[in-house]
Chains A and B, each alone.
Chain A
Amino acid sequence: MITSLLSAPLVAQQTTPLDFARDVRPILSENCFQCHGPDDNARKAGLRLDRREGALADLGGHAAVIPGRPDKSELIARITHRDPSERMPQQKTGKQLTPEQIATLRRWIEEGAQWSEHWAFVPPQRPALPRVVNRSWPRNAIDHFVLARLEQRGTRPAPEADRSTWLRRVSFDLTGLPPSLAQIDAFLADRTPAAFERVVDALLASPRYGEHWARSWLDIARYADTDGYQYDRERTQWPWRDWVINAYNQNMPFDQFTVEQLGGDLLPNATVQQQAGTGFNRNHPITIEGGVIDEEYRTEYVIDRVVTTSTAWMGMTFLCARCHDHKYDPLSQREFYEFFAFFNQVPERGLQGFEPRIAMPSKEHDDAKLALATLEATVAKASATLRPQRLAWEKSLVAKRGADPWVVQDPAHPTASSGASLEALPDKSFLASGGDLGKETYELLIRTDLTNITAIRIECLTHKSLPHGGAGRASNSNFVLSGFEAAARLAGSTQAHIPLKLASAVADYSQRNYEIAKAIDGNPGTGWAVDGPTRKEDRVAVFTPTRPFGWEAGTELRVRLQQHFGTGHAIGRLRVSLSTQAGVGIQAGIADFAATEEAARTPTQRRSLTEAFMKQAAPPVVRDDYLRIPALRKNVAATNARRVRLMVMRDLATPRKTHVLERGEYHRKLAEVTAGTPAALPPMAKELPRNRLGLARWLVSGQHPLTARVAVNRYWQAFFDTGIVKTAENFGSQSEYPSHPVLLDWLATEFVGTDWDVKRMHKLITLSATYRQSSKVSRRDAVRDPANRWLARGPSRRLDAEEIRDQALMVSGLLIDKIGGKSVFPYHPKGLWMEINNRPGYSRPYPHQTTPDHLYRRSLYTFWKRTVPPPTMQAFDAPEREFCVVRRSSTNTPLQPFVLMHDPQFVEAARHLGARMMREGGKNNRQRIEMGFRLVTGRRPSPSERAILAGTVTRRLALYRQDSAAAARLLDVGVSKSGKPLDRAEHAAWTAVARLLINLSEAVTRG
């Protein structure tokens, strides 16, 4: 129908020259490009019709198009061929040219076959305002463009809408909520010319604005609270949702909105919020299905990002080029994978690919950190004051210290299995260097005259020659002692060494899961490690045999240190001591530590000493403070663990290689490619990095032909229900030609020229005369322009699912207007989640809640489970959120009345609306009816409408007076209380009226 509206006048008015982009190219694209278009592999007969040189090319004595000579042009011959088997387009394509289309093509060739590129790939030029006859009508530039087209068509714009209609319209379009009675009264009373602007400014400044505008962005960003595939488990991406709300409320310019979502993590010194923006490209579904092939799904995620990003910012259908060159648009398969390369750098997996994530700041964690810091500062201050006491205490420790229970040993000929050399140092330790940095075993032979030996101590000591000055030989300073073995024999004997049974092993520190006991558990796969990467410290371990040993005539002790972990995870500097004291262990060290010079003490030693001092010698106040520190530390860790983890984008340090994938299949790699943008679009500036940040900056450079057009077209769609380009998700060759192409270019250039100021653009549109028109459909309109593409009347639309529910909450007074936070669980039918997914550990029943902060929040906060979307939302055309959606459908189904009549959410809202009418409406029925009617429609009822509703009140009152049980059933729906007691029958009757009001067609639309 639109085609005929667009082209009918053209065929009739032979005087207007054809416009290739509007009149000809769409015919060629639809009917010819599939075989004669950009796809090199699918091209037939060597003919290419998406380029002028192709159309004019000599194909051996003939050409498809010979300008000025339609009768010599093969194209005309073939599309009019008598023989159906020769006629183009071929029958099997199912396409057929109309006589009008053939006439257009003929005329186009006659007129010289002028050519232009597809309009959407040519950057918009700033147009001049067109002349209009009715110069008093336009309120701003938009109106000039709209009116000029109307005047060309010989029509006039509609009169202004009622003020109350306009107010309801603009309130929903900017905030997704109806105006309050106070807002209506104020606006109706304000007869100054600036009244409209004041309303718009107030709505734009309302936090409700950000919530409403975020909501359609969530559809585009396929945002949800679950993972989507298979068991569809829960995730926590809501901080990203709040990021979007904030961005709109702060009027973040669209270029920044773009940069932070596509490449915020790559900005220099990216803030947490900037990183959070990149959650946009992690909102895609993720699988946990056990059997999947990892790379297959990782590839799908990257493709999802390509598709979503290209649709959202460029209105391009990139997906078509996944398996082959695009059939209609100049986008090769290779270019698809060059674009893919931008998004292919995330350090992620296909199966359970939730990383990378960041921890979002939380108040409780910040509070916990502050409490800890405060306490630590107090203790530090007190410790400084106590320093003289501390020094005295340490001195006394040293004085009281008995003889050192350890005798340092001097092993002869230590050997290393790796071939490392072990150099003896003056302190009797020896230092490893060289050798093959793989597995290692040290063997030491110790000749001693001690008897009754009770323990063997090894010290693992740091040294500046070791990696990072630590105690281990691995490049990260760690070591793993897999096995400690000791064996002894009488000195000089040639008998085998007798293995010592070890009773225990203790260490001053062990890494988690690498406890010292694992050095003597007989399992070479486990061992003792010391967190070398973070702790460059001396370490001590003491091994106690089950029985003391040592021969009177001298003992030869053999110690073997197995270090099987590999990659050089061996001790770097080692010293061995023996003790003959019973019960000797590590704890004996405190006095030793005190004896060590302060600067030479390790952090562990320092900590041990402080702890002992605090416990033994500090004043109780300080001691208690000190002892509270661990609990606060634990709290810091616990609150940290509770911080919400948000999936964000990151790039690998070493780029992942990207290949063209044959038929788009993850494992069929063809040529390697690097990140780049399609050749048909303006090139990326040289100075831009070839990563997502560069890509984002390229999109918002102001030179890009699509970004601004696509964005303003989506805004237009939100205000006028249909975009200037109806196919808001596709601006390519197969898109619908814009209804107002010049206006689109003006808006796009205006948007860029005002630094991508979103609120300003919304203000411009809502204050236009075009937007202010009445939406009343005359019989003539219904026939001439049923879809209202020419805008000779105002835009009416059905409200979206969220708006319908939010309105009910607002007019009933139940709405809780808190912004952001965790998703909530309002009323929901019982059993819905479990009936399709009931696996323990993978699914749970819907967590029904009874508190207002769950039941009455705006719908964009409702928990979104992709495999079972909220049914109230689904009934009114909300998408599942499994993929990017730019336009929702708008349907009428019998399921919608069911929701409005029977969902407890709406029945309960009606109860509160009924109570409001009784309490606030006034004494008589007429006033009460008027109030309720105004709340849900924004206008006063007509006398006939009032009469019908008055009949309802009377009938229902009689009914509920007779049947108190029916009244009770109606008033019992929903968990909320009704406030101060009302007459039950009367309340039920008004509730029934309120239900009727909520179900009005007018209540679910805005005129």
Chain B
Amino acid sequence: MTHPIDEARSLATRRQFLARGASCYGLGAAALHSLLTGEQTGTGEHRTTHVGGINEGLRGLPHAVPKARRVIYLFQSGAPSQMDLLDYKPSLEKLDGTELPASIRMGQRLTGMTSRQSKFTVTKSPWKFRQCGDAGIWLSDLLPWHQRIADHMCLVKTMHTEAINHDPAITFVQSGHQQPGRPCLGSWASYGLGSQAKDLPAFVVLLSKCTDNQAQPLYSRLWGSGFLPSNHQGVKLRGSGDPVLYLNDPTGESLRNRRTMLDDLARLNELHHGQVGDPEVQARIAAYEMAYRMQISVPGLLDFSDEPASTWELYGEDAKIPGTHAANCLLARRLAERDVRFIQLYHRGWDHHSNLPGRHPGIARQVDRGSAALVLDLLQRGLLDDTLVVWGGEFGRTVYAQGSRKKFGRDHHPRCFSVWMAGGGVRAGYQHGQTDDFCYNIAEDGVHVHDLNATILHLLGVNHERLVYRFQGRDYRLTDVHGKVVAPILA
């Protein structure tokens, strides 16, 4: 069997012919122009241009020269424990075993899981931290690979959020609203900035395979487009089955025969277009061509056989198993190379309400190496400068123990948690903000979820106050009426 890529190459001439052919048909220049530049209606509802899935973004965007061309968001679903991983708290050595003072808790609401607990015992991290790199950032021994990228990290220790349960909190981080209905970050990026890749979508979602059957679920709304046109929803690249839903022909048709079919189809559609004059017909023809290009490009994207040995030395053997965090980190790098705008990865399983000492090491091991390898890999390929990597979950975990002290867990904690970023215009080797001695409240320089999202958009060259969509008479934006760009973390 011919390799798809070789086969595609031999067909390229024919495709070019077809593309030229299409422009000879039909539509007047003015109408085509309106399609290409987008439409603005009387109520200010913008419509981005989509000639067959080629997403051009909005006119006038980016608002400023972007620091990051693309984002890779390594989302850690379930909430990693900040004082066990990223927020070094020597003060807890002394406080360990004491009751959390009311002056610290300040009547803050708790989840239904610990609100009836009679004791709130401060519990230090069972793991050692060490100071890393020239920057001297303290990182936990749970993340030995992270310890190697300390000098590239921009660690924000003072994230805070509003929700205290997973569903609303994940929805909030991703869409700026706790209830379903708003577009997620990646959809906003796709809507505003469009696609840079000719044969891949602007917004791609990677799901790690989850081995922990206690893990919190995900929901398709997390990469949904809310009220934005639905072509801005994330396209899942899956670890098993069809990598993109329905990408593969179940009849195993060769690309050559497919090409013939598409040529017939295009000719019929062109004839139809000649009869009805509807520009949508041409958009549909272009969509089939884009689909064809994806059929060729996705197998190549997923075929890691062209990776040099150094890749496996960096990412580890795990990266050879599709669906692992490491494999998805490598895939994210390949997507970045192909200039996909927004790459959203989800890894589940951090939600340890019991036996955190027994369970956190396992999941840390799953994500540690791949995350760090991705940063180093982007760096060595010169991609880190214009690729923003974000690593974090939906909230933090409590300093007090949930359940028995021996096999303690930690409950949900919205008041402070840690997120790190790297590349794409953030300050390397920098730590932002301070939590209090209890790792319970923010002592200085808090960063709200809206602030983080405003900053991510800023790095993409987008003013978060100006990327709006008129829906139900109101201009909506990712950050609602909030959000400040966090200036100190910008490079």
Give me the interface of A with B, judged by CB distance under 8 Å.
1-3, 6, 26, 30, 94, 228-232, 285, 287, 289-294, 300, 311, 317, 319-320, 327-328, 351, 726-727, 729-730, 732-737, 775-779, 781-783, 786-787, 796, 798, 829-832, 835-840, 842-843, 866-869, 871, 874-875, 877, 879-880, 882-883, 888-889, 891-899, 901-904, 907, 942, 944-945, 948-949, 951-952, 955, 959, 966, 969-970, 973, 992, 995-996, 999-1002, 1004-1005, 1007
Identify which of B42, B272, B287 contacts A892 (C-beta below 8 A): B287
Q: How far is the CA of A798 from the CA of B44 in the complex (A)?
A: 23
B50 interface contact, C-beta 8 A: yes
Q: How far is the CA of A406 from the CA of B473 in the complex (A)?
A: 84
* 7 A–B contacts, CB within 8 A, in A order: A26-B42, A735-B43, A736-B43, A796-B276, A838-B215, A867-B221, A948-B268
Q: Decide if B473 touches A995 in the complex (CB within 8 Å).
A: no
Q: How far is the CA of A840 from the CA of B214 in the complex (A)?
A: 8
B456 interface contact, C-beta 8 A: no
Q: Decide if B217 touches A230 in the complex (CB within 8 Å).
A: yes
Interface string of B219-262 (1 = CB under 8 A from A): 11100100011110101001111101111111111000100110
Interface string of B389-420 (1 = CB under 8 A from A): 00000000000000000000001100000000
Q: How far is the CA of A736 from the CA of B470 in the complex (A)?
A: 11
Q: Decide if B261 touches A996 in the complex (CB within 8 Å).
A: yes
Q: Decide if B284 touches A1 in the complex (CB within 8 Å).
A: no
Q: Decide if B181 touches A882 in the complex (CB within 8 Å).
A: yes
Q: Decide if B166 touches A830 in the complex (CB within 8 Å).
A: no
B19 interface contact, C-beta 8 A: no
Nearest 9 A/B pairs, CB to CB: A734-B473, A291-B111, A837-B217, A782-B31, A777-B277, A882-B180, A894-B291, A891-B231, A867-B219
Q: How far is the CA of A895 from the CA of B290 in the complex (A)?
A: 9
Q: How far is the CA of A776 from the CA of B278 in the complex (A)?
A: 7
Q: How far is the CA of A970 from the CA of B272 in the complex (A)?
A: 27
Where chain B touches its partner, the secondary structure class is loop
Looking at the complex, which of B85-93, B118-126, B205-213, B375-383 is the stretch in contact with chain A?
Answer: B205-213
CB distance from B281 to the nearest CB of A (A): 5
Contact A289 B277, CB 8 Å, known A874-B230, A903-B246: no
Q: Decide if B27 touches A839 in the complex (CB within 8 Å).
A: no
Contact A891 B252, CB 8 Å, known A726-B41, A776-B276, A942-B271: no
Interface string of B175-188 (1 = CB under 8 A from A): 00001110000000
Chain B residue with Cβ nearest A735: B473
Question: CB-CB < 8 A to A327: which residues of B?
Answer: 474
Q: How far is the CA of A958 from the CA of B280 in the complex (A)?
A: 34
Question: CB-CB < 8 A to B284: which residues of A?
Answer: 892, 1001, 1004
CB distance from B483 to the nearest CB of A (A): 14
Identify which of A328, A839, A907, A952 contacts B264 (C-beta below 8 A): A952
Question: CB-CB < 8 A to B42: which residues of A?
Answer: 2-3, 6, 26, 726, 736-737
Contact A289 B166, CB 8 Å, known A230-B216, A898-B246, A907-B250: yes
Q: Decide if B229 touches A782 in the complex (CB within 8 Å).
A: no
Q: Decide if A732 touches B52 in the complex (CB within 8 Å).
A: no
Q: Decide if A839 touches B215 in the complex (CB within 8 Å).
A: yes
Q: Decide if A3 touches B474 in the complex (CB within 8 Å).
A: no
Q: Decide if B294 touches A317 in the complex (CB within 8 Å).
A: no
Q: Decide if B264 touches A869 in the complex (CB within 8 Å).
A: no
Q: How far is the CA of A955 from the CA of B264 in the complex (A)?
A: 11
CB distance from A831 to the nearest CB of B (A): 6
Contact A782 B165, CB 8 Å, known A317-B474, A836-B217, A836-B220: no
B94 interface contact, C-beta 8 A: no
Question: CB-CB < 8 A to B44: which residues of A?
Answer: 30
Q: Decide if B245 touches A94 in the complex (CB within 8 Å).
A: no
Q: How far is the CA of A429 from the CA of B60 in the complex (A)?
A: 94
Q: Decide if B231 touches A893 in the complex (CB within 8 Å).
A: yes
Q: Decide if A292 touches B165 in the complex (CB within 8 Å).
A: yes
CB distance from B233 to the nearest CB of A (A): 8
Q: Decide if A839 touches B217 in the complex (CB within 8 Å).
A: yes
Identify which of B28, B209, B290, B473 contacts A317 (C-beta below 8 A): B473
Question: CB-CB < 8 A to B465: which residues of A?
Answer: 94
Q: Decide if A901 touches B41 in the complex (CB within 8 Å).
A: no
Give me the interface of B with A, judged by CB distance under 8 Å.
27-28, 30-31, 34, 39-44, 50-53, 109, 111-113, 164-167, 179-181, 201, 207, 209-210, 213-221, 224, 228-231, 233, 235, 238-242, 244-253, 257, 260-261, 264-265, 267-269, 271-273, 275-281, 283-288, 290-291, 293-294, 411-412, 465-466, 468, 472-474
Question: CB-CB < 8 A to A868: which residues of B?
Answer: 220
Q: How far is the CA of A893 from the CA of B230 in the complex (A)?
A: 9
Additional A-B contacts beyond A729-B472, A882-B221, A893-B231 (18; CB < 8 A): A228-B180, A229-B167, A292-B111, A734-B473, A783-B28, A786-B39, A796-B278, A832-B245, A835-B210, A835-B239, A836-B207, A838-B217, A882-B181, A891-B50, A973-B251, A996-B261, A1001-B273, A1001-B284
Q: How far is the CA of A328 from the CA of B216 in the complex (A)?
A: 40
Question: CB-CB < 8 A to B248: which residues of A?
Answer: 902
Q: How far is the CA of A320 from the CA of B473 in the complex (A)?
A: 10
Q: Decide if A1001 touches B249 in the complex (CB within 8 Å).
A: no
CB distance from B303 to the nearest CB of A (A): 19
CB distance from A971 to the nearest CB of B (A): 9
Chain B residue with Cβ nearest A775: B276
Question: CB-CB < 8 A to A783: which residues of B?
Answer: 28, 30-31, 34
Q: How far is the CA of A96 from the CA of B155 in the complex (A)?
A: 40
Q: How far is the CA of A969 from the CA of B253 in the complex (A)?
A: 9
Q: How far is the CA of A232 from the CA of B180 in the complex (A)?
A: 13
Question: CB-CB < 8 A to A6: which residues of B?
Answer: 42
Q: Decide if A880 touches B207 in the complex (CB within 8 Å).
A: no
Q: Decide if B473 touches A328 in the complex (CB within 8 Å).
A: yes
Q: How far is the CA of A525 from the CA of B231 in the complex (A)?
A: 61
Contact A726 B165, CB 8 Å, known A782-B28, A894-B290, A902-B246: no
CB distance from A532 to the nearest CB of B (A): 33
Question: CB-CB < 8 A to A796: which residues of B?
Answer: 276, 278
Chain A residue with Cβ nearest B346: A836
Most buried by A among B167, B251, B286: B251
Q: Decide if A730 touches B264 in the complex (CB within 8 Å).
A: no
Question: CB-CB < 8 A to A898: which residues of B?
Answer: 244-247, 291
Q: Decide if B265 touches A1000 in the complex (CB within 8 Å).
A: yes
Q: How far is the CA of A786 from the CA of B246 in the complex (A)?
A: 33
Question: CB-CB < 8 A to B288: which residues of A?
Answer: 894, 897, 999
Question: CB-CB < 8 A to B51: which residues of A?
Answer: 892
CB distance from B485 to the nearest CB of A (A): 15
Identify which of B112, B264, B293 contacts A951 (C-beta below 8 A): B264
Q: How far is the CA of A898 from the CA of B238 in the complex (A)?
A: 15
Q: Decide if B472 touches A317 in the complex (CB within 8 Å).
A: yes
Q: Decide if B167 touches A1 in the complex (CB within 8 Å).
A: no
Q: Decide if B209 touches A895 in the complex (CB within 8 Å).
A: no
Most buried by A among B42, B269, B285: B42
Chain B residue with Cβ nearest A734: B473
Chain B residue with Cβ nearest A1000: B268
Q: Decide if A1007 touches B264 in the complex (CB within 8 Å).
A: no
Question: CB-CB < 8 A to B264: which residues of A?
Answer: 948-949, 951-952, 996
CB distance from B264 to the nearest CB of A (A): 5
Q: Decide if B294 touches A894 in the complex (CB within 8 Å).
A: yes
Question: CB-CB < 8 A to B257: which residues of A?
Answer: 959
Question: CB-CB < 8 A to B273: which residues of A?
Answer: 1001
Q: Decide if B220 touches A777 in the complex (CB within 8 Å).
A: no
Q: Decide if A232 touches B217 in the complex (CB within 8 Å).
A: yes
Question: CB-CB < 8 A to A899: which residues of B?
Answer: 245-246
Q: Decide if A893 touches B287 in the complex (CB within 8 Å).
A: yes
Q: Decide if A902 touches B247 in the complex (CB within 8 Å).
A: yes
Q: Decide if B246 touches A782 in the complex (CB within 8 Å).
A: no
Q: Decide if B250 touches A973 in the complex (CB within 8 Å).
A: yes
Question: CB-CB < 8 A to B278: which residues of A?
Answer: 775, 777, 796, 1005
Question: CB-CB < 8 A to A1: which residues of B?
Answer: 34, 39-41
CB distance from B283 to the nearest CB of A (A): 4
CB distance from B321 to the nearest CB of A (A): 15
Q: How far is the CA of A124 from the CA of B111 in the complex (A)?
A: 51
Identify which of A292, A734, A777, A781 contacts B474 (C-beta below 8 A): A734
